[in-house]
Amino acid sequence: MQVRITLKKVEHQFSAEPGERLLYAGLRHGVPLAYECATGTCGTCKAVRVTGTIKNLWLDAPGRPDHGREVEALLLCQSCAESDCTLDGSPASTTRPRPQTLPSYFEAHIAEIASLTADVCLLTLSLHRPFHFEAGQFVLFSVDNLSGFRAYSMVEGYATSRPSFIIKRKPGGAISDWVFERATAGAPLRLFGPLGVATLRPETDGDLFLLAGASGLSMAFSVLDAAARNGHLARHRADVIFGVRRAADLFLVDRLAATGAVVTLALSDEADVALVRRSFPDVRVMSGFVHEVAAACLPTTTSNTIAFLAGPPPMIDACLRHLVVGARIPPTRIRYDKFS
Amino acid sequence: MNWQFACNKAEIPEGGMKEMRIGEIPVLLLRAEGEVFAIPPLCPHMEEPLVNGMCDGTTLICIKHLWQWDLRDGSPAGDAEIGLLKYPLQEDADGGIQIMVETELRYEYQK
């Protein structure tokens, strides 16, 4: 199918395979489409059909446009073309650098699943070709016979054919249920990526302030991995605040401490913080949510300190308020990709 | 062309916001550094309700992608690519806020 889309008066054209989501087809052809979660929840990739036949793949998508107000509105990530079509959409921000690697599809299979807590595991995949991405980006998973895609951040900071991912089990989450209940080594998946703009830019970035909730820790590992390999950590300080509810929810703390970053654990619902402090003598342990702990122990920021956020959207919103209004870090120095 | 009473200034705390309708037209009132401003309630970027955002002095910041504007003149800052539209507003001697809302202000992409 041929798709023409107008983004702020500039027309772009690309081809889409039968059944392929329009967002993914456009992005892999380099069309600068606005997106954020790419999985139907945020509404950022909203567009309006002008001509042609479009199929909606998820009628109840949380991010779907207000159909009462705009009857032809759709989400590009949840739509495919059934004929040649024309659309009006939104362009990606022009003020943020675009990652260099265009996303594409990858066939993969499970290499290993390692349990980290009762509801978190480390999933390692084997890909048929190297996966190039920038530290901090994410990828979408698709599994045969399960509808839709699910976003996960890579733990590594450099190109690899064996990327790993921290998977937290979500109640009713089709892909996380599959990983925890049915998936075994060798099981196939399809990936689409890399996606996301919250990336490390070592040529201009300075100190790093990484705020991570639960499985958002993947992003912190990815940024720290790249920063260690390219020498960034030898020149700049890195602080990580890793938040979970209770001590039983903690994982990979020793690996995090070994990165060389100054690590603080934020426990929002732990009765015996003193015991946790004794268990992890190499890191700081505090009570509270990530944004509360960030307010209490924000390092002295410099003019090029970069804050990275990853975790549940409510955590990101709370941290944004603290960083912008409380810590007065300019919004242009705060990076995050919201997906859930 | 008429000024229409919106609310009393005291109803909006410093740094606070108040959503309301003037007739059928939705308006967001904000109070920043003692001054009240009236704007369309949705972000000109992705239509995020600006009431979810935050004020830092006279800078309004949308929570979705951190677009920023100076409320005094609507000028964009940071990542914001277009300016903020504002409704004319005046404060009477008793602290009453009056707004001039003839037609709904709409951004170029909404027309």
CB contact under 8 A, A44 and B46: yes
Count of alpha carbons within 13 angstroms of residue A92, beta-carbon side:
17
Q: Tell me what percent of chain B is helix, strand and coil, each rounded to the nearest 5.
A: 10, 40, 50
Residues 6+ away with beta carbon under 8 Å from A173: A150
Q: How confident is the model at residue A134 (pLDDT cuts 50, 70, 90)?
A: very high
Contacts with A324 from chain B: Cβ below 8 Å: 54, 56, 61, 66
CB contact under 8 A, A317 and B63: yes
pLDDT value for A87: 96
Q: What are the pLDDT digits (tens) for A138-182?
A: 999 999 989 889 999 999 999 999 999 999 999 888 899 999 999
Please list the residue range(s) of chain A that carry CATH number 3.10.20.30: 2-89
Q: What are the pLDDT digits (tens) for A264-287?
A: 999 999 989 999 999 999 999 999
Q: Are A318 and A182 in contact (CB under 8 A)?
A: no
State the architecture of A207-336 in CATH terms: 3-Layer(aba) Sandwich (3.40)
Nearest in space to A216 (alpha carbons), one of A287, A290, A147: A290
Q: Could you confirm whether domain A2-89 is CATH 3.10.20.30?
A: yes
* Residues 58-97 in B contacting A (C-alpha not used; CB under 8 Å): 61, 63, 65-66, 68, 78-79, 81
CB contact under 8 A, A324 and B79: no
Mean of pLDDT over chain A: 92
Neighbouring C-beta atoms of residue A68, cutoff 10 Å:
6
Distance CA A122, CA A258 (A): 18
CB contact under 8 A, B79 and A93: yes
Distance CA A281, CA B17 (A): 45
Contacts with A317 from chain B: Cβ below 8 Å: 52, 63
Has residue A298 got a pLDDT over 90? no
Please list the residue range(s) of chain A that carry CATH number 3.40.50.80: 207-336
pLDDT value for B4: 93
Residues 6+ away with beta carbon under 8 Å from A105: A28, A190, A191, A192
pLDDT value for B47: 82
Which residues face B73 on adjacent strands? none
CB contact under 8 A, A331 and B46: no
10 Å CB burial of residue A36 (0-12, 13-18, 19+) is buried
Has residue A68 got a pLDDT over 50? no
pLDDT value for A67: 46
Per-residue pLDDT tens digits of chain B, which is 111 residues long:
689 999 999 999 999 999 999 989 999 999 999 999 999 999 998 888 999 999 989 999 998 888 999 999 999 998 898 999 999 999 999 999 999 998 999 887 655
Chain A nearest C-alpha distance from B38 (Å): 21
Distance CA A175, CA A320 (A): 29
pLDDT value for B1: 62
Closest alpha carbon within chain A to B64: A317
Nearest in space to A306 (alpha carbons), one of A332, A326, A328: A332
Q: What are the pLDDT digits (tens) for A16-45?
A: 999 999 999 999 999 999 998 999 988 889
Has residue A235 got a pLDDT over 70? yes
Q: Could you confirm whether domain A104-195 is CATH 3.20.20.80?
A: no
Distance CA A315, CA A268 (A): 12
pLDDT value for A8: 82
pLDDT value for A236: 94
Q: How confident is the model at residue A332 (pLDDT cuts 50, 70, 90)?
A: confident
Please list the residue range(s) of chain A that carry CATH number 2.40.30.10: 104-195
pTM for the whole thing? 0.90
CB contact under 8 A, B68 and A331: yes
Count of alpha carbons within 13 angstroms of residue A80, beta-carbon side:
11
Q: What are the pLDDT digits (tens) for A223-232?
A: 999 999 999 9
Contacts with A334 from chain B: Cβ below 8 Å: 66
pLDDT value for A65: 66
Q: Which single residue is written with the structure tokens 């300075």?
A: A206
